[in-house]
Structure 1
Amino acid sequence: MSEIGRLLGAGKEAEVFEHGTLALKLYRPGRPKAPAFREAANLAIAEKLSLPAPRVHVVGDYHGRWGLLMDRVTGTSLADEMTPEPQLSAVKEMAALHQRLHREPGTGLPSLKARLSTNIERAEPVPPDLRDRLLLALAALPDDDRVCHGDFHPWNIMGSGDGIVIVDWLDACSGNPAADVCRTYLLMRRVLPAIAEAYVVTYAKTAGLTPDEIFTWLPVIAAARLAEGVPEENEDLLHLAALAPVDA
């Protein structure tokens, strides 16, 4: 088997390395095996649906770290087309790609609303009275059964044209597309605030939704994000979570 090669990319949860002609995604030291197998299962579902995602070859323990051996993705990220000057064409391309996912049934993927509920329960910065409001608000929001990526942003969209690929499928769920778009907005708003707003408007217009139908998910999406260990975002996320309706 090929040796682990140079580092291709890194995030909070994992690093990606060259491994022969493939790519090896290794979760951080100390992480259990469950995330690796969960992402592999999600990618298998994406492959069955012919969605643009890397194909998994092996899941295993590599030098004490769990990881996935998968197709290597080449090219630059869509984020490169959005900085330093935002390109409306890139925003439209991203929205069309997101809708492609949302047209597919999320059979076999975990429930998005169940995951949000679990994360809201786990989010230590959320005070008990606000937590109760958020859980009531979440229960009142409309459910669905579409493929939701859960981490859909321009840095996870690689290549272009027919060679475009979406990476990082660990958080994929079955749920309401509006919630998935709201999550994308939340992930982009700190770094690319103007593009984040434009993205919601663009997606809503082409999907037959209103921006309000997307933003109604913002309090629960923000509260769930508080369980992810991003302390530099806590103040902003708590402010957004507090927008949950009092009489949900």
Structure 2
Amino acid sequence: MKLTNLISKGQKASVYRDGDNAIKVFNKETNKTDVLNEALNTTRVEETGLAIPSISEVGIENGQWSITMNFIEGKTLSQLIKENPEKKEEYINKMVDLQLEIHSKRAPLLNKLKDKLIRQINSLEMLDSIKKYDLLTRLDGMPKHVKVCHGDLNPNNIIVSNDNMYVIDWVHATQGNASADTARTYLLFALEDQRLADYYLDVFCKKSKTEKRYVQTWLPIVAAAQLSKDKPEEKDLLMKWLDVVEYE
């Protein structure tokens, strides 16, 4: 089948529309394990009842792995923020409500967030053994929870359709501490817009009744995890977060 209706293109995959379906076609170098893991994660999250695309098939399109799911008509939250900047704060509040709903769910078969963070930190060749030890010690001392964590929640991964919000891209989904997931979303905002990041964190902590300082203690850990993605344009800011030991 020849796919022509390209919806979006990312670093690792392109998404096409085919009737009522969205087909995510992965780059040729994508590992089969990664594709199957994303499909499995998404299915396990779907079982929690969250509003997400439903997978109908994992297959091959022109020699490349693909995942077929139902197409959701709408715009990303990122698009809406750009089109309606005066509603930015309203959109962030809705996003926080959605994130709190995600954190309220349980999916016992998802991988553990802590195990993933340990692997990511240990993989960093740019950090010396002392820095890694400090980060791993901090991680080991964090409270252990089993809440569903998206792992990459940001306005690009939320589709708004008829005032309903759907979350996509569950490849990084795990079960773990919600504040770690929040710290990662904060960091993703901060890489683009520090003011919006600060507003997001204020709203999240107020709605969840979480101490801001507690979320901030996760920042060096999630910054190190993000460093493992090896994006040169992010390195300076992420290294800065690693050097912050305590927050006022």
- Aligned match of 1:66: 65
| Distance in 2 of aligned mates of 1:5 and 1:105 | 38
1:76-225 equivalences in 2 (<5 Å): 76-83=75-82, 84-85=85-86, 87-160=88-161, 163-225=164-226
| Equivalent residue letter for 2:141 | A
Aligned to 1:30, the other structure's residue is in SS state coil
**Contact 1:106/1:148 (8 A) holds in 2:** no
- Aligned match of 1:20: 19
| Distance in 2 of aligned mates of 1:3 and 1:70 | 17
| Distance in 1 of aligned mates of 2:33 and 2:21 | 22
1:74-101 C-alpha deviation (Å, 9 max, x unpaired): 2111123333456211111000000000
Pairwise CA distance, 1:147: 0.4
**Contact 2:45/2:107 (8 A) holds in 1:** no
| Distance in 2 of aligned mates of 1:133 and 1:31 | 33
Pairwise CA distance, 1:27: 1.7
Pairwise CA distance, 1:155: 0.8
Amino-acid identity (%): 30
| Equivalent residue letter for 2:41 | N
Aligned to 1:80, the other structure's residue is in SS state helix
- Aligned match of 1:44: 43
| Equivalent residue letter for 2:239 | L
Pairwise CA distance, 1:213: 1.3
| Distance in 1 of aligned mates of 2:209 and 2:161 | 26
Ranges in structure 2 where 5+ consecutive residues have no aligned partner: none
| Equivalent residue letter for 1:107 | P
**Contact 2:48/2:107 (8 A) holds in 1:** no
**Contact 1:220/1:244 (8 A) holds in 2:** no
Distance 1:159 1:167, change over 3 A: same
TM-score by length of 1: 0.93
Pairwise CA distance, 1:171: 0.2
| Distance in 2 of aligned mates of 1:19 and 1:103 | 33
| Distance in 1 of aligned mates of 2:81 and 2:213 | 24
| Equivalent residue letter for 2:107 | G
Which is worse superposed, 155-164 or 175-184? 155-164
1:6 is aligned to 2:2: no
1:240 is aligned to 2:241: yes
Which is worse superposed, 179-188 or 5-14? 5-14
Distance 1:219 1:203, change over 3 A: same
Pairwise CA distance, 1:13: 2.1
**Contact 1:44/1:55 (8 A) holds in 2:** yes
1:94-148 C-alpha deviation (Å, 9 max, x unpaired): 0000000000113111000110110011122222211111111111111100000
TM-score by length of 2: 0.93
| Distance in 1 of aligned mates of 2:131 and 2:87 | 36
